[in-house]
Amino acid sequence: MADADKLSARPHAVVVGAGIAGLAAAAGLAERGVGVDVIEREHYLGGRVGGWTDRDDDGNDIAMNRGFHAFFRQYYNLRCLLRRVDPQLSMLTAVEDYPLIDGAGRRDSFRGLPRTPPWNALGFALRSPTFALRDLVHLDARAAAPLAAVSVPEIYERLDHVDADTFLKSINFPDTARHLAFEVFSRSFFADPTQLSAAELATMFHIYFLGSSEGLIFDVPTANFDVSMWNPLRAYLAGRGVRFRLGLKVLRVDASETKTFRVHTDSGDRLDADAVVLATDVAALQQIVAASNGLGDASWRARIQRLRTAPPFSVQRLWLDRPVTSDRPAFLGTAGHKPLDNISVLERYEREAAGWAARHGGSVIELHAYALQSEPSREAMLGQLRRLYPETAAARVRCERVLLHSDCPLFEPGMHAHRPGVHTPQRGLVLAGDGIRIDVPVALMERAATTGWSAANHLLSQWGLAGHTVHTVPNRGRSALLRSLAARAWRRR
């Protein structure tokens, strides 16, 4: 059935959380005629990809958001959501390179690599200054076999018990390459390689190299996140009857004997619903479930409470009174420059930053630091910026904003088997988010979008309504020869 109008009664769902997962779920439900209320504790949409307008010290408007995000070409389901408001995705612009630099000044680049697996991975390795031909010979092929034959969930059965750093050492991956390339990737999960499951690392390697031809070239929004993506999407969803309740925190969800739900907010509102999508971060999910007596069963509730949040991360945005040199890339990943993990030059791609830079003759720079034990010192971050971009040493900071958050899921070793999935023991209740298990090869923002669409599909199927197609990279390596060799090597272990 294509539309809820053909049902005897129109179902109503409450989506808790207006990040990518919640917005995908809301779109999936509303497009089939389901009534939807979206409750979000912030005053903006997008969750950790949210954007808003701030004021500088002179009272002028400045664009601000939760920090740089790369929209990789493999993010099929996120792009499907964005195409609802921009079929050509003109809201995104390509960043043609993703350079990396380590503490010794060695650089890697993803520009110009072959597109076909496995030549893309081989080309990157052979071109890298951190990876010599002899290093290929010394790799332990048997230990590395899972990288060439990733499928989900099988890869977790093989590698989830070990951390990414230990796994890379076990296959004799060279230290310099490990620190430059794979450490940068693992820290995109906001965790140190010693805290990240090797299965997550292998899945990421599959997504970007052996499972797809799009590689590591990505797009970024051409304007602040609210302007480019979420305001248009909000208007699109509102046109389909979705009601947004921003600035409200959900306290608990009561399940009644009549198979309906009552959602309680901190404003005293109570919303009745036939279904609920919990699309929050880990801490909020745990708080809601703990306060919702009788929701789910004891085993499921225990799995929710076992989830962990990754260490804090910092976003430091600087409005400088002079520009960086014209050859500085839009994005630079760093290793060996602690506490700094990457640098973005926003006027290279963001309309608001470009306008500010043109008016003031300066630059808008963003510095990220991940997997923190404590808040990084301002001088340490600026010191690394000046080391890498010496022209900033003489620059005056006209405006500065620093965000420190700890709300990203942690994909620690051994957790996959216990990680809750989209389906729950409670009929009509589903989960979505980048910390929720789904057994297809996705990660980060794409995991959020995919679980959101899947949550909507699960509810739609309960009402006899048509779902939405979900796309992923192939759930196995694209090279039959490599898959065969990997299977043979694994059997010999």
Give the mean pLDDT of 127-132. Answer: 76
User: What does the pLDDT average to over 444-461?
Assistant: 98
According to DSSP, residue 171 is labeled T
**Largest Cα–Cα separation, the chain:** 69
Can you tell me the distance from the alpha carbon of 249 to that of 45, in angstroms, rounded to the nearest whole number? 14
**Residues 6+ positions from 21 with CB-CB distance below 8 Å:** 47, 279, 432, 433, 434, 436, 448, 449, 451, 452, 455
* Beta bridge pairs of residue 37: 14, 243
CA-to-CA separations, 265 to 270, 304, 327, in angstroms, rounded: 7, 20, 50
Tokens read off for 415: 């957790």
Out of 142-156, 179-193, 242-256, 384-398, least confident range: 179-193
For the ranges 340-349, 371-380, 476-485, the maximum mean pLDDT occurs at 340-349
Q: How far apart are CA 120 and CA 239, in angstroms?
A: 43
* pLDDT tier, 122 (very low <50, low <70, confident <90, very high otherwise): confident
Q: Calculate mean pLDDT across residues 251-260.
A: 87
User: For residue 491, what pLDDT is reported?
Assistant: 60
Tell me what pLDDT residue 38 has: 99
Q: Does residue 184 register a pLDDT over 70?
A: no
Q: What is the pLDDT of residue 181?
A: 66
pLDDT in tens, 360-401: 999 999 999 999 998 999 999 999 999 999 999 999 999 999
- At 19, is the secondary structure helix, strand, or coil? strand
**CA torsion angle 301 302 303 307 (round to 10):** 100
164-184 average pLDDT score: 81
Q: Which CATH class is domain 52-95+218-222+310-405?
A: alpha beta
Q: Mean pLDDT in the chain?
A: 92
Query: What confidence category does residue 24 fall into, taking pLDDT thresholds of 50, 70 and 90?
Result: very high
Which homologous superfamily is 4-48+224-307+412-462 in? FAD/NAD(P)-binding domain (3.50.50.60)
* Greater pLDDT, 34 or 106: 34
pLDDT at 130 over 80: no
pLDDT for 43-89, tens place per residue?
999 999 999 999 998 899 999 999 999 999 999 999 999 999 999 99
Residue 101: which of 168, 174, 188, 179 has the closest Cα? 179
Q: Where are the domains of the chain?
A: 4-48+224-307+412-462, 52-95+218-222+310-405, 113-212
**Cα 415 from chain centroid?**
18
Better pLDDT: 283 or 258: 283
pLDDT for the residue numbered 484: 64
Q: What local confidence, expressed as pLDDT, does residue 490 receive?
A: 56
Mean local confidence (pLDDT), 223-240: 99
pLDDT number for residue 485: 58
Quote the pLDDT of residue 483. Answer: 61
Kindly tell me if the per-residue pLDDT of 118 is higher than 90.
no
The DSSP string of 281-321 is -HHHHHHHHHHSTTSS-HHHHHHHHH--BPPPEEEEEEEES
Q: Give the integer Cα–Cα distance in Å for 164 and 311.
A: 16
pLDDT value for 480: 64
- Residue 287 identity: Q
Q: Is-contact 391 409, C-beta < 8 A?
A: no
Sheet holding 261-265, edge to edge: 250-255, 261-265, 270-273
Please state the rounded mean pLDDT for residues 309-320. Answer: 97
Q: What is the pLDDT of residue 452?
A: 99
Please tell me whether the peptide bond between 193 and the residue prior to it is cis, using omega within 30 degrees of 0. Answer: no
User: What pLDDT is stored for residue 398 in this prediction?
Assistant: 97
Strand order in the sheet with 100-101: 107-108, 100-101, 331-334, 342-345, 363-369, 313-320, 397-405
Q: How confident is the model at residue 313 (pLDDT cuts 50, 70, 90)?
A: very high
Name the nearest CA neighbour of 196 among 440, 404, 415, 374: 415
Tens-place pLDDT, residues 82-117: 999 999 999 999 998 889 898 888 888 878 777 777
